[in-house]
Structure 1
């Protein structure tokens, strides 16, 4: 049976459509970008080798973990010190003192009601010049001196006018030797320091203690122009961090939930809050269900963080960091194909706002490509099948 002219035109159209569709699929697959949750491990490593790379890539080893742990452990004690630099027994500007004077004779300048006794001079604040005024003794320097030293100066000034004067100097209101405690404490305010010396936890307790659970808090201490912060739980558990406070320190308990974020080939991508004072990388990965077996590249576990350049000099002593600023973007890489890599997971401390990225394996990329080819070529294959069917019917 001969095919009609209309039928021949239809067949020619289907044949051309099939050929054009195949050509279009080839062009599309050659120019398209594969869908991905982030950069590949090879791309991260290659970019890190560029001269002006925006980050420094560090392979995690036992030595790297050790240096990072030391930097983590010495947070307050190393940066602010742990000694009583200034005696809180010193009188300061603004302190209020009371002077009591006794004499051996009932007829002395300071004898009261004609009997041998003493006189108490009304309380007075130490002036901006650091002095106080005592009748017959004149202006006496008090600031940056102990009550005993002020006592001796007054007795020396009165020795020719009073009969064997005996002086007692009492500080009734201590303003200069105080620490300000604020934030999430029961009673914010100024805490006076004693000559014994108070530590960080002492002044927090004197302010009534935390108002909420300690795992939600960080302790921030400001001394001069320096400010350091430490998780409250770590301050409680590590005695070396419980440093001595100094006059004029400001201690604030801040509600600061800590978190980390996981992206890439993990079982779940999420931002996770944590309460542990020390969270290790293996615990963090467990919180999101671990690695995705079908997608994850076990060599490509990356931790994104900003570190001080001083720390990087310890981690990479062979590299010149003279052109870097005070902080640097760092990516730490862990290789779990190495059996010892799991020990590193148990030792690598995670920090607040860390980002964990797990790269896709090359096999996962191949699977994606095969799926893309299959979904794109299916309409073309269907058109070719229709063409063949019609051709068979014609014959």
Structure 2
């Protein structure tokens, strides 16, 4: 029986060596901190690793979403006072004489009221004795002067008043999560984004769930509703044919790895910081977490990333780059960084396992592998003793 015992013991040793040689295949929720760090140094790495210092956190805290004022400009456009195709226009004419050109058939001697006209596709209206008048793209005052000049040879000192009674061309379309979607005419004084939203009845749900999307021509930009309200610079003037849409856009982030809970977490706060985000999932797991390996995965504009990694290059068509921010909580100042690092919508937070946790898993695997072998060897030894 002794050869049998020797075979079992050798088998146990071989099994242990096999487990040891394949420790990289141990169960894990993601890469180790060392793997992420070494991967960032590869020639064709798909991401940029940025260790977060206090200076980096402060710099990121100052960065805002691309402002609407930068995308569209903050100046008021005067085109809303211009007549456009489809507008309803009235023309009133007065003369200095009661026996003038427009006296006949008028209830008021020396004056005439031209019925309401819609500006044609050619941008014109018709005025008796003045003919076809080009009005599209002009102000009512400019059209007034044109008509007066056209009538001056026939009428007696004509005075003209041009009025737009229905502004159909200079409108903004408001839709989405507002109380009353529709087209809103612009006034010569100009309207801002919040004016237009208020005219449409305002939002019909809580502000933290909404984003405001503005489309002008082929350009579209989106901003959180709370930011639009809190930052007056973002409340830009709208222009003719803008489309303003209120979109329901709940914000969330996900947590994986050695946290006390792996979950997708929605948040209502206008500004959520990393310490608050980790607290929502119960913080780091004391038995598994590598305090040096708190990573935040995000896509950032390449211009922003180059402030920390000058050689960064965009890997996506929209000019963004994959970024992994690393926070070291072994450093006591790391908790100050948590308080200043803002979580963005769709961030992914990953907590790497500690090396001790990997050793513990390895030890568990070894013990579960060797224990049956040792029990088998003991059983064989007992049989051998009985046979003597």
Shorter-chain TM-score tier: over 0.9
1:190 aligns with 2:208: no
User: Partners in 1 of 2:67 and 2:369 — Cα distance?
Assistant: 56
Q: 1:96 to 1:115 in 2, by over 3 A?
A: closer
Distance 1:376 1:216, change over 3 A: same
**Which range moves more in the overlay, 213-222 or 41-50?**
213-222
After superposition, what is the alpha-carbon deviation per residue over 1:98-137, rounded to whole angstroms, capped at 9, x for unaligned?
1111112122222244752422112222223322221111
1:276 to 251, 269, 275: 269
| Number of the residue aligned with 2:7 | 16
1:335 correspondence with 2:328: yes
Q: Deviations over 1:317-340 (max 9, x none)?
A: x32638875121111111122222
SS, match of residue 88 in structure 1: helix
- Aligned residues: CA RMSD: 2.0
Aligned to 1:102: 94
* Correspondence for 1:238: 231
Tell me, what secondary structure is at the counterpart of 1:106? coil
Secondary structure of the residue aligned to 1:266 is coil
C-alpha change, 1:64 and 1:78, in structure 2 (3 Å) is: farther
Q: C-alpha separation between the residues in 2 aligned to 1:278 and 1:323?
A: 28
Contact 1:181 1:190 in 2 (8 A): yes
Change (3 A) 1:172 1:157: same
- Distance change in 2, residues 1:238/1:307 (3 Å): same
Equivalent residue number for residue 4 of structure 1: none
Question: Contact between 1:132 and 1:141, CA under 8 Å: does it hold in 2?
Answer: yes
Matched-pair contact (CA < 8 Å) for 2:148–2:158: yes
Q: Could you say which residue in structure 1 is the equivalent of 2:384?
A: 391
Alpha-carbon distance in 2 for matches of 1:253, 1:240: 19
Q: Which residue of 1 aligns with 2:298?
A: 305
Taking a change above 3 Å as real, the CA distance of residues 351 and 378 of structure 1, as seen in their structure-2 partners, is same
Distance 1:102 1:365, change over 3 A: same
CA 1:291–1:61: 2 relative to 1, 3 Å: same
Correspondence for 1:180: 173
User: What does residue 141 of structure 2 align with?
Assistant: 148
Q: Which runs of 5+ in 1 are unaligned?
A: 1-7
In structure 2, how many angstroms separate the alpha carbons of the residues matched to 1:336 and 1:136?
Answer: 85
Question: Take 1:164 and 1:114, find their aligned partners in 2: how far apart are those partners?
Answer: 19
Instruction: Render the CA deviation track for 1:315-370: whole Å, top value 9, x for unaligned.
Output: 43x32638875121111111122222222212222111111101111111111111
Partner of residue 3, structure 1: none
For the residue of structure 1 that corresponds to 2:18, the secondary structure is helix
Q: Deviations over 1:188-238 (max 9, x none)?
A: 011111122111111011001111222221111111222111222222222
Partner residue of 1:321 out of 313, 322, 327: 313
Tell me how far apart the structure 2 counterparts of residues 363 and 204 of structure 1 sit (CA, whole Å): 56
Normalization by structure 1: what TM-score? 0.91
Q: In structure 1, the residue corresponding to 2:377 is in which secondary structure?
A: helix
Residue 161 of structure 1, CA deviation: 0.9
- Equivalent position SS for 1:120: strand
Distance 1:176 1:383, change over 3 A: same
Aligned to 2:351: 358
Q: Secondary structure at 1:143's aligned position in 2?
A: coil
Structure 1 residues 61 and 88: CA distance shift in structure 2, 3 A: farther
Q: CA deviation at 1:155?
A: 0.9
Gapped regions of structure 2 (runs ≥ 5): none
TM-score when scaled to structure 2?
0.93
Q: Name the SS of the counterpart of 1:140 in structure 2.
A: strand
Q: 2:36 matched to 1:44?
A: yes
Alignment equivalent of 2:209, drawn from 216, 223, 240: 216
CA distance 1:154–1:62, shift in 2 (3 Å): farther
Secondary structure, counterpart of 1:383 in structure 2 = helix
Contact map agreement 1:235 1:242 (CA 8 A) in 2: yes
Q: Does 17-26 or 42-51 show the bigger shift?
A: 17-26
2:90/2:163 contact within 8 Å kept:
yes
Contact 2:106 2:112 survives alignment (8 Å): no
Work out the CA distance in 1 between the residues paired with 2:66 and 2:19: 56
The answer to whether the Cα contact below 8 Å between 1:104 and 1:116 also exists between their aligned partners in 2 is no
Residues 209, 268 of structure 2: 8 Å contact kept: yes
